[in-house]
């Protein structure tokens, strides 16, 4: 990797999007500007002049034909689209004299963003639940295949993922409650 | 039968109210954002995330309809149902402001 680029690994939970935005801004203030995101936790930065860039995240899973209009609207409003990572869209704009622009200007639309995410996660919980049901019934029986051990390891991971998902769902719901109370 | 079908949308949020007000004529997203700021005398700004969400749900509920798509920009306008919802919201606001103005002397 060239000297004018770095890679950072950092994990943010879905309800920590504001912390993530603040972290990206502080990186830009130091002269490291987000260029892309690989996996959910691998951020690539390019070196440049320190800038007070403001970052905002939206969660949208759109069809291709809808996405053009969506991105056009953000670009018209002065937001540069940096990258997309499994439904999360990363936008950037410059803070003018310290004044920060927002992509969500009311609580309800912010809540709706989290709700879109909740629907997606609830869908995964259902899939996970089906996996758990299948695994617990079949995996621990007597199977003569040597690779069955790997399946057993995977079957142990499923409840772990399930636990994380449920934790994330609860945390997101609490975040929504907190937003509404403000 | 259709008497109460607008009630579930009321009251509109401040942003949705202004967005719908601008859509008495066909407009695309960015024009809506500019116009909302103008007609609300700068009291309400609508960000692109909020506006996109509003367009999506208003269209889904049949309160606005897409009239054209040009240079990747969709334009929307109110439907008859949307007009009815907006009219009822205006009536509600009228009651609110009338009452409010009648007590301003006491404040």
Report whether pLDDT(B48) > 80: yes
- At A36-46, the pLDDT tens digits run 998 878 999 99
CB contact under 8 A, B29 and A73: yes
Residue B35 lies in a domain: yes
CB contact under 8 A, A109 and B50: yes
CB contact under 8 A, B29 and A76: yes
Nearest C-alpha in B relative to A62: B56
- At B58-101, the pLDDT tens digits run 999 999 999 999 988 999 999 999 999 999 999 999 999 999 99
ipTM of the complex: 0.90
pLDDT of residue A145: 65
Residue B2 lies in a domain: no
Report whether pLDDT(A11) > 80: yes
CATH of the domain at B35: 1.10.10.10
How many domains, in total, are found in chain B?
A: 1
Q: How far is A118 from chain B (nearest CA, A)?
A: 16
For residue B37, the enclosing domain spans 7-106
Rounded average pLDDT over A59-74:
92
Residues in chain A: 182
Residue burial A156-168, b: 16+ Cβ < 10 Å; e: rest: eebeeebeebeeb
- At A67-90, the pLDDT tens digits run 999 999 999 999 999 999 889 999
Quick one: pLDDT band at residue A119, thresholds 50, 70, 90? very high
- Partners of residue B71 in chain A, C-beta under 8 Å: 72
Rounded average pLDDT over A85-107:
91
CB contact under 8 A, B30 and A112: no
Nearest C-alpha in B relative to A90: B49
């Amino acid at each position: 990797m060239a000297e004018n680029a770095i890679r950072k690994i950092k994990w943010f939970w879905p309800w920590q999007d504001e912390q993530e935005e603040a972290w990206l801004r502080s990186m830009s203030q130091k002269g490291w500007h987000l260029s892309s995101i690989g996996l959910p936790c691998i951020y690539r930065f390019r070196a440049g002049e320190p800038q007070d860039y403001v970052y905002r995240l939206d969660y949208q899973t759109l069809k291709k034909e809808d996405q053009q209009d969506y991105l056009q609207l953000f670009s018209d409003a002065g937001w540069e689209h940096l990258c997309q990572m499994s439904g999360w869209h990363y936008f950037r704009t410059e803070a003018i004299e310290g004044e920060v622009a927002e992509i969500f200007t009311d609580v309800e639309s912010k809540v709706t963003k989290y709700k879109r995410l909740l629907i997606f996660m609830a869908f995964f919980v259902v899939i996970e639940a089906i996996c758990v049901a299948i695994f617990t019934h079949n995996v621990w029986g007597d199977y003569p295949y040597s690779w069955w051990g790997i399946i057993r390891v995977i079957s142990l991971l499923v409840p772990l993922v399930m636990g994380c998902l449920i934790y994330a769902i609860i945390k997101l719901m609490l975040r929504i409650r907190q937003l509404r109370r403000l | 039968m259709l008497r109460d079908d607008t009630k579930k949308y009321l009251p509109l949020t401040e942003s949705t109210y202004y967005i719908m007000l601008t859509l008495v004529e066909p407009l695309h997203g960015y024009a809506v954002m500019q116009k909302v700021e103008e007609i609300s005398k700068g009291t309400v700004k609508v960000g692109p995330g909020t506006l996109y969400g509003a367009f999506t749900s208003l269209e889904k509920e049949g309160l606005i309809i897409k009239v054209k798509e040009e240079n990747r920009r969709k334009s929307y306008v109110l439907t008859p149902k949307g007009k009815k919802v907006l009219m009822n919201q205006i009536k509600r606001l009228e009651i609110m402001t009338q009452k409010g103005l009648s007590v301003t002397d006491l404040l």
